[in-house]
Amino acid sequence: MPPKPSLVRPGRGPLRAVALTRHAAAKRQQVCAICSMSGAGPPRRATTRNSAPMRPSLPDRRHTLSTAPAANVRAELEQALLQLQSQAPRLLNLARLQLALQGLRQAPGEETVRVALLGLAGGSGAGQTAKRLLRAILSDPLQDHHAWETQLDSYDLSKPLVVKVSAGPHLDETSIDVARENPIQRLHISSPDYDALGLEFLLVDVDPSALAAGQASIQHLENAALVPSVATRSADGRVSQTPAPVHHALIVADGLMGAVGLASLPVSESGGAITAAVDMKGLAGEELHAPFHVIDVAKAEEGVRLFRDGPQNAMQYERLWFASKVPALTAWLKAGLRTEDAATKPAVKQLLASLLQNAQSAIRTEESAIVAKTLASTTPLDDAAGLHAGLAVWARQAHGELRDELDLAFTGRRWRKLGWWKLFWRVDDVGMLTSDILSQRFLPTAERELVYQAGRIAALRGSAPQYPQPVSELPDSPAVARPAAAALPKWPGHIAFTRRYLQDETVPALQALAQRLLVQSLGTSSVAATLAGLLYASSFAAGVYEAGAVAALGVVYSLGRMQKKWESARRFWEGDVREEGRKAVRAVEESVSQALMAQESVSPAQVEELQQAKELVSRAEDLLSRLK
């Protein structure tokens, strides 16, 4: 019998989630205001749509991942985004897409990262606080006061200001200037901590109502904070609002009223792309458990001033600087800029991930609208809405069941029976115990509820739709081959298919690995014991202690190796089961959505266009996961 593959997780992991897609209202194409100023892999495996395909054995699965060079991945990702923009521009925020494409066209690790400092306008003094905070962050306490600091203090934020931080040629007081003829002013400065990071700041006042606007959604906050509008003047003298996209945004407020305004914003849901700070003198050291940073800009400024007066004030500078809580903001700022050699900056990756996630959401929204419209044309409106809502409820409950049931399974008595030190007498029970876990804990309730939902859809429509089914990627797979169209089940079979895949492909591999590790451990221990006996009986007259040490060393080495490899295999199998379960649930949801959209009242071209957009987003996500 040929040996089974080893269950060792590769460096990146062979599992990819089946991407779900979403949709939103289209936006007109816009030009980035800052860009207008500065002038500035192998093919994927073919799988059936909406399927949770049978995977090959683990060593083969590692080779399915692309090993394309980083430059090729970067170029392919750019082409995928351009193709998505060409085919479905309504799915993307085109201003943010322009900024993302600009980053992909730059060398890895040398991308320009833009950060917006948004001072809340309205008489609270937040605009002035934002300028003071920026000066405190960029000031070098080891050097005297620079001319740019005075220019920044006196600048009127009625016009946005772009601050570019770079070393370049040596900047003296005469070479620093803020142009007055352009709608967006620019200021070039040098700061030792940030010169080599490719950083630009957009300093602008924003209306607090523009951030909230009666909505507490993260989508609205991202559109307002990460794509602020600035006034630009055209050639004929007309002034219009133009988006100025940025990678990150720091919202700055002042005093108690500013804190009240920020408390209602879902800043924590932005994944670190947006953060907020409130200047509250004397409270920077207090633990307020607020969704924003409480800082004291005056302490930071005083610390810089004292250090410039003389190095004897170094201790006072350090105490005031850390008491101001400004270092928390500089750490957040540098987290998006620091990267390994020749690797894409985290801020650029985060922007790309946000774009694709929003595209998924937009596609999902459009799918929901198509399904609701289709069902409303064939069934009563209340029933159509109920079917769509029932599918969403089923998916939410299925994900919850998968998490809870597998948590119980992998912390339960049966899974503990497979500890590495119990393999000596339970090695033959590995297949039985893991198969029992899959049979009893792998989405049993979700599968029954799916049958109920399929029956409800068939009852309202008068006939059962044909659901896209999963197929195996392996020509000689032990799983059941794809049935004929007449024999297709009347509900999506992804859950049962995935369960069979785990039982037929991964359980035997885990069983074989357990047996092989046990044999290797016993073999190594036996060799060590034999060697110890030979040493003891040899003419070298090795003592019993020396011989015992050799035997003990062999036993400890063999057991340690067995423990390390077996526990690693168990963790991998546990993650494999969870991931395949998530993919099965998401594939079922997509299969039902496609079946509901496959109606005569829906334009085939519209469905095909949406499917192509989904494939492009999925391909872009795959490329992003491999982007260095």
CA distance 254 to 294: 10
* Closest to 119 in 3D by CA, of 291, 276, 327, 232: 276
Range 147-171 average pLDDT: 80
Name the token pair of 22.
Answer: 């979403």
CA distance 331 to 164: 19
User: Which residue shows structure tokens 């996500």?
Assistant: 621
Residue of 222 and 174 predicted with greater confidence: 222
For residue 375, what pLDDT band results from cuts at 50, 70 and 90?
low
pLDDT at residue 381 above 80? no
Distances (CA, A) of 548 to 206, 417, 545, 562: 77, 31, 5, 21
Residue pLDDT, tens place only, 8-27:
333 333 322 322 233 333 33
For residues 17 and 438, is the Cβ–Cβ distance under 8 A? Answer: no
Q: What DSSP string describes 192-257?
A: TTTGGG-EEEEEEEE-HHHHHTT---HHHHHHHHSS-EEEEE-TTS-EEEEE---SEEEEEEEHHH
Residue pLDDT, tens place only, 325-371:
899 999 999 888 877 777 888 899 999 999 998 888 888 888 777 76
pLDDT at residue 43 above 70? no
Please state the φ and ψ torsions of residue 3, each to the nearest 5 degrees.
-65, 150
Q: What is the dihedral of CA 325, 262, 207, 194, to 10 degrees?
A: 30
Residue of 131 and 182 predicted with greater confidence: 131
pLDDT at 234: 66
pLDDT at residue 465 above 60? yes
* Closest to 427 in 3D by CA, of 512, 524, 526, 521: 512
pLDDT at residue 522 above 60? yes
pLDDT at residue 482 above 60? no
Residue of 9 and 553 predicted with greater confidence: 553
- pTM for the whole structure: 0.58
Mean pLDDT value across the chain: 76
For residue 183, what pLDDT band results from cuts at 50, 70 and 90?
low
pLDDT at 603: 64
Residue pLDDT, tens place only, 430-460:
889 999 999 988 999 988 888 888 887 777 6
pLDDT at 541: 54
| Range from 51-55, 286-290, 400-404 that averages highest in pLDDT | 400-404
pLDDT at residue 280 above 80? yes
- Residue 543, number of CB atoms within 10 A of its CB: 10
| Range from 12-26, 150-164, 318-332, 518-532 that averages highest in pLDDT | 318-332
For residue 182, what pLDDT band results from cuts at 50, 70 and 90?
low
Domain limits, the chain: 106-170+181-369, 379-472+488-610
